[in-house]
A and B are shown apart, each in its own frame.
Chain A
C-alpha cells in the first residue's frame, strides 16, 4: 500500500467569472520514506497541488488517498511548510518549535527536552531565545523545519522553502536537509523551481507541465548520498530534466507574452 495515492483529474478556480483550470490529470503514488521533488514552470499549479495534499484545498475532481483514506482536511501528520513560513513573531525560537506540542498538550518538561533536541538538530541551540526578526533567512528556514519535524509528521510538504535564500545558505541547507532526512526517514514532497536543487535532494524528480499542470515526466535519481549540488552525477541528471522542462517553460512563455520565442 502506497502512503499517498494521488489521482487528481482536474482542479480549477473561478477567476473573474471564468474557469481557470490549474491542474489537469496528475496521477502517481508515493511510498513511505520517499523524497519527492516537484519542479515545473512558474505559475504551473505546484502550490495548488501541495495545498491539496495538505488538505487545505478540498475542492477538486479526483481523489487523493492517504493510507487508503481520502484526504478531507488538515492533518498534523501531513505538515506543510509554507513558502512564507508563517513563523510566529510573538514567540521565541524555542516557543515556536514547541507550539504544536503545546497544542497536543504534551507535559512541559517533555516538551522542553524534545524542542531542545530539534533545536540541536537544526543547529539553532544558541538562538533558542531569539525572536524571528533577529534571525537570518536561513535560520528562519531551519526554525520552520524544526517546528514541523518536532511534531513527528509522516509527510513533510515543503513549498519552495529555499527560494528566497542566497546560494551559499542554500547549499548548507541542502546538506542539512539530506542529513535530517536520512535520520528521520520522513516522506518529503519538496517543490522547487531549481532543477539542480531537485536533483540534488530527491529520490524522484517529477516535472509538471505548464498550466494546466499535468505530470509530464518522472526521473529516478539513484545517486549516492549525501549529494553535492555541483557534483558530476547531479549535473548529468540536471541536463536530462532540463531538456523536459525547457519545452514547458517555452510554452508558458508563449502563453503569457503571446509571442514565439526560440531559446
Chain B
C-alpha cells in the first residue's frame, strides 16, 4: 500500500515536470520572447553542462561553501555562547536580549552598506553578513532550548548525584537537543540566504556572483542554471540532511 502510494506520487511528479518542461520549451521556441529573456530548457541544460565542464560552477560552489562554513561556524559558536550568557545573567537578558530580538527581525541584506564600509569589497564583508544574519537566530534558539528544559530532568539527575559539568553533559545538553536542532535548521536558512544576497554585490566568485555574471553577459541560461543549482543545494541540505536528522531525533525522543 505504502509502496503504491509512493509510486503514484512519483508518477504524478514525472507527469508534472515533463509537462512543465514541454510547455517551457514550446514557449521558448515560439519566438515570442528573445533568448536573453526566456531561454529554452535545453539551452539551460547545456549551460549547466558547460558550467561544470569548465569548473566555474564547482569553483563557485566551493567558494560559497567556504564562506558559509567560516561565517556560520563563527555564528554558531558565538551565538550559542551568547544564548547561554543571556540565560545566566538576567540583567544581560533584559538589556542585550532585547537588542538581539531587534536584530532578528532585520533582513540581513540591510547590513551590507555597513559591512562594505567596514571591510571593503572583501571576503570578510560577506562573512560578516552571514554572521549577523544568523547569529541572533542561533542566540534565541539556544537560549530558549536551555530555558525550556523540564526541571524534572535536573531534579532526577541531582538526586542521583549529578552536578556541575556532569549535569550539563549528561542531562542539560541531551534534553535540549531537539530544540537546538530546530534552531540550527532555521539559522542555517538565514545564513544561506545572507550568503546568496551578499555574493550578488561584487565580483567574488561564489554562486551569487555567477548569477550576477550571467546577468551582465545577458546569459539567461546561466542565470537559470545557477538558480537551479542553488535550489538543489538548499533542498539537499535542508530536507535531506538537517530535516532527516531532526526527524530521527524527534522519533527517538518520542516527540
Contacts and interface: CB of A to CB of B under 8 A. Distances in A.
A89 B254 contact: yes
Given A132-B254, A133-B254, A134-B254, A88 B171 contact: yes
Nearest to B171: A88
Interface string A169-190: 0000000000000000000000
A70 B153 CA distance: 26
Contacts of B177: 90
A79 B158 CA distance: 10
Interface string A83-117: 01110111100000001101110000000000000
B110 interface: no
A80 interface: yes
Interface string B167-189: 00011001101000000000000
B38 interface: no
A56 B159 contact: yes
A79 B174 CA distance: 22
Contact of A76 (B153, B159, B174): B159
B152 A104 contact: no
B17 interface: no
A56 B253 contact: no
Contacts of A56: 155, 159
Given A82-B156, A86-B155, A76 B161 contact: yes
- Of A54, A79, A89, A102, the most chain B CB neighbours within 10 A belong to A89
B2 interface: no
B1 interface: no
Nearest to A83: B152
A79 B160 CA distance: 7
A232 to B, nearest CB: 39
Interface secondary structure of B, over-half rule: helix
B159 A80 contact: yes
Contacts, number: 56
Interface string B138-174: 0000000000001011011011111000100011001
Contacts of B156: 82, 86, 88
Interface in B237-255: 252-254
Nearest to B160: A100
Given A56-B155, A86-B155, A99 B160 contact: yes
B: contact size bracket? 10 to 19
B152 A84 contact: yes
A103 B162 contact: yes
B171 A54 contact: no
A221 to B, nearest CB: 28
Contacts of B174: 88, 90-91
Contact of A82 (B152, B170, B252, B253): B152
A86 B157 CA distance: 9
Contacts of B150: 86
- Of B159, B161, B253, B254, the most chain A CB neighbours within 10 A belong to B159
A91 to B, nearest CB: 8
Nearest to A133: B254
Contacts of A89: 252-254
Given A103-B166, A131-B253, 17 more contacts: A56-B155, A74-B158, A74-B159, A79-B159, A80-B155, A80-B159, A88-B156, A89-B252, A90-B174, A90-B253, A91-B174, A99-B170, A100-B161, A102-B170, A103-B161, A103-B162, A103-B170
21 contacts: A74-B159, A76-B161, A82-B152, A86-B152, A86-B153, A86-B156, A88-B153, A88-B171, A89-B252, A90-B175, A90-B177, A91-B174, A99-B160, A100-B161, A103-B161, A103-B162, A103-B166, A103-B170, A131-B254, A133-B253, A133-B254
